[in-house]
Structure 1
Amino acid sequence: MADALAAARPRVVAALAAHFRDLDLAEDAFAAACEAALREPTPIRDPAAWTYVTARRRALDARRKAEREERAIASQPEAETMGDVITFPEPIPDERLRLLFICCHPALAVEARIALALRTICGVSVPRIARAFLVAEPTMYQRITRAKAKIGAAKILFETPPPGEWAGRLGAVLETLETALGIAYRNASGAGDTAGLAPEVERLAEFLAELMPEEAEAFGLLAVVSVIRSRENARLDGDGAMVPLSQQDIAKWDAVRIEAGRRALDRATALRTPGPMQVLAAIHLTHAMRVHDRPTDWRAILRLYDALLAMRPTPVIAINRAVALSRAYSSEDGLAALDELDADRLADFLPFHAARADLLARAGRGEQARAAYDAALALEPEAAEARFLSAQRDALGA
């Protein structure tokens, strides 16, 4: 039941927020509905529908108690029969994309837009969002709280913006979905509070590409999502440990999804508007050439990362570029690139320590590699990644 409720969260919260025009009320009502669902003595046939109807009732009660919008509330029809529970409103999936555009309003700071959208629409926990942005949890809580307050203070409408405003919000929308996919990808098992996140990102990416067929980056994102999801069945070994991309069994890759990603990238490049999503898609498709019995072209991947880093100079891309550099040339070259990064800022960033540990091990610097693996494990990775990192550290010997 807990997993079903977590999967239902994005749909229900988005629908409630769009209906009541209040993000806090939507989240509080959903939380109360979940508590009620977990106390139900009999199985709930449709957890999403049940929580929507229950949360809607709780939200209406909360507004009545606060004596706000009494006339509007009095006109709201109550859901009184099981028919209301069973016929969960189908327009709700579209509410998520609508709310995503609202959260990405230009009145909000870019990182605040993305963080708010991740929390509200995608249901990502604040600790996970904080790690993705390399900030402390209290800082991220403050950003999300301020963003919600700004939406209320600026009286931002809970309506899909007119088409003329879509382009101005598209970048933040794309980055939100890309970040959500990255968070889901970190959890190789696909269990826990990120369960269902990758399929939801894919659904929204498909809808976004349909909504904006002249936006190359929308198709670039769709290509990235398709290729990344093509590898899901190869990401765990028999012991539940994460399997890195370079070691995955390509027989477990989904060739249909890879082809869908290639078509999406072709559609993007035909629009002749280059962007970072398309470059990232090209990187993933270069890795995917292994399905055609072709070795990984690390020098091509390095060139693509050079281009991506110029477009988006972030620590994550710089780390991935360093790994590509190590495979194209030498581990020492990769380590030199990592040494150029701000180690203090990345002290709590697990991928930095994991990449450094791997390159140190490949360079034969066992003691330093062990220390780097310990640093990565101290940052509490997901269970599958922890198993992998522990095995790599143990393989170094005493």
Structure 2
Amino acid sequence: MKTSSVEQRIADLYKQESSRVRATLIRLLHGNFDLAEEALQDAFVAALSQWQRDGIPNNPRAWLVSTGRFKVIDRIRKNARLDDLAQLAYTLETETQADSFDATDTIEDDRLRLIFTCCHPSLAMQARVALTLREVCGLTTEAIAAAFLVPVPTLAQRIVRAKNKIRDAAIPYEVPEQDGLPARLEAVLSVVYLVFNEGYTASSGTQLMQPDLSTEAIRLGRLLLGLLPDPEVMGLLALMLLHDARRESRTNENGDLIPLDEQDRTRWNQTQIKEGCNLVVQALRAGSAGEYALQAAIAAVHAEAAAAEDTDWIQIVCLYDALLKVNPSPVVALNRAAAVAMRDGPFAGLKAIDELADHKDLQGYYLLHAARADLFRRLSQPEEAAHCYQQALGLTQQAPERRFIQQRLATLQKQK
């Protein structure tokens, strides 16, 4: 093959296979993330020279794993001054002689092991997110820091501390046994959903959305579903697809927020909606409905309505009732109250929201005040609405949401 063809093939392999190869190298190098990253880079550098001379091997993935492991052994033997590294080199060499690596299934298992390790509950949530995006998704430290508006050194330290915690706490590089799987899977899904939410509605900053993050979360969801076809994984992927399907209609050309009932539904991604709805059906048919499957079902009802006035609010309230049994959180209760307002009118919605107003977890939640403001607005009570909007404005740091509230306030001012 021509040199340019080989280089292109290697570049394509890096995009397609680097996460798989990295995951396996982490296992083979006894959970040493840094050595695995060095091994990965060394393997691809070696491929650039050797494949142009010898041709591309029949199993490039296995070649890269084996080469990376050999390169690490050589690197340690040349540079090691510490007994533990010398011992590691001896261990790796012994293991290398004992087995020749070429199992595709093992590589896929390694990707699942890596996800569960990066999302281990003993790590802080911020560390889980950063480590997953770095090691599983292959995002650069700079890209992750930019997405979360964190200084690069801070993000880098967060990743280093997470790796050290995995090493010092001897967190096993494995998929949990069946009896421990549900709890650990919940921790994994919460990381994926947090990444998606930060992309779908950024917690702060000048933009409402960070599409790269939500796209990465959906990619993680697809990967997880391919490795572990669990109903809740189906539910989470469906939920993300259905929300993301509305991306193009959520803001105008100036980046201003457009409420759900005012969005141009012809701009919703029908391919994603169809896929998401099909996944919802599969998840609900698989057994008792979990939190993500029920949230996805609510999103599906919204997505299937041709116009805002066609929304089946009776069904949505029923789904929120079921969701509250699974996850009796005040935020779910607030969302249910908003749905009750759409089903039974703003007075009923205000009554349901006021019953939640003293909950400590909602004291600093701007959407509680924004929801009350909207209901007062619908009841033609501008002073009460303006007061609630002012409370909401003081609690949000996101520029598009702030502009939306300010626009509502300006409209109310004209009505006085």
Opposite residue 338 of structure 1, the aligned amino acid is I
**Identical residues among aligned pairs (%):** 32
Say if 2:172 is the partner of 1:157: yes
Match of 1:40 in 2: none
Task: Provide TM-score, normalisation by structure 2.
Answer: 0.64
Say if 2:309 is the partner of 1:309: no
CA contact (8 A) 2:249 2:267 kept: yes
Q: How does 1:106-121 map to 2 (within 5 A)?
A: 108=122, 114-121=125-132
Q: How does 1:114-133 map to 2 (within 5 A)?
A: 114-122=125-133
The SS at the match of 1:240 is coil
CA contact (8 A) 1:373 1:393 kept: yes
- Which whole-Å CA distance do the structure 1 matches of 2:147 and 2:393 have between them? 17
CA contact (8 A) 1:377 1:389 kept: yes
Point out 4+ residue stretches in structure 1 off by more than 6 angstroms.
64-68, 72-75, 91-96, 123-129, 143-149
How far did residue 180 of structure 1 move?
2.5
Q: How does 1:131-280 map to 2 (within 5 A)?
A: 151-161=166-176, 165-187=180-202, 194-213=210-229, 215-280=230-295
CA contact (8 A) 2:207 2:400 kept: no
Which stretch of the first structure deviates more once superposed, 96-105 or 376-385? 96-105
Residues 392, 65 of structure 1: alpha-carbon distance in 2 compared, 3 angstrom cutoff: farther
Task: Provide TM-score, normalisation by structure 1.
Answer: 0.67
- Which whole-Å CA distance do the structure 2 matches of 1:125 and 1:228 have between them? 24
Any unmatched runs of 5+ in structure 2?
A: 1-14, 39-71, 91-105, 135-143, 150-157
Match of 1:352 in 2: 368
How far did residue 252 of structure 1 move?
0.5
Opposite residue 395 of structure 1, the aligned amino acid is T
Match of 1:320 in 2: 335
Match of 1:340 in 2: 355
Number of residues of Structure 1 aligned to a counterpart in Structure 2: 326
How far did residue 243 of structure 1 move?
1.0
How far did residue 145 of structure 1 move?
11
Superimposed CA distance per residue, residues 294-336 of structure 1 (whole angstroms, 9 cap, x where no aligned partner): 7011121111111111110112212211111111112222222
CA contact (8 A) 1:116 1:148 kept: no
- Which whole-Å CA distance do the structure 2 matches of 1:192 and 1:160 have between them? 36
CA RMSD of aligned residues (A): 4.4
- Which whole-Å CA distance do the structure 2 matches of 1:190 and 1:66 have between them? 49
Opposite residue 170 of structure 1, the aligned amino acid is L
How far did residue 22 of structure 1 move?
6.7
Match of 1:44 in 2: none
Give the number of the structure whose alpha-carbon radius of gyration is greater.
2
Opposite residue 222 of structure 1, the aligned amino acid is L
Opposite residue 409 of structure 2, the aligned amino acid is R
Match of 1:365 in 2: 381
- Which whole-Å CA distance do the structure 1 matches of 2:379 and 2:81 have between them? 64
Higher RCO (Cα < 8 Å, 6 or more apart) = 1
Residues 271, 193 of structure 1: alpha-carbon distance in 2 compared, 3 angstrom cutoff: closer
CA contact (8 A) 1:289 1:295 kept: no
How far did residue 256 of structure 1 move?
0.6
Opposite residue 250 of structure 1, the aligned amino acid is R
Any unmatched runs of 5+ in structure 1?
A: 1-7, 30-56, 76-90, 130-142
Superimposed CA distance per residue, residues 119-173 of structure 1 (whole angstroms, 9 cap, x where no aligned partner): 43247779979xxxxxxxxxxxxx9999877644431123444667544411222
Residues 310, 165 of structure 1: alpha-carbon distance in 2 compared, 3 angstrom cutoff: closer
Superimposed CA distance per residue, residues 4-59 of structure 1 (whole angstroms, 9 cap, x where no aligned partner): xxxx9xx99x9599478478x79xx9xxxxxxxxxxxxxxxxxxxxxxxxxxx9xx
- Which whole-Å CA distance do the structure 2 matches of 1:144 and 1:335 have between them? 44
How far did residue 234 of structure 1 move?
0.5
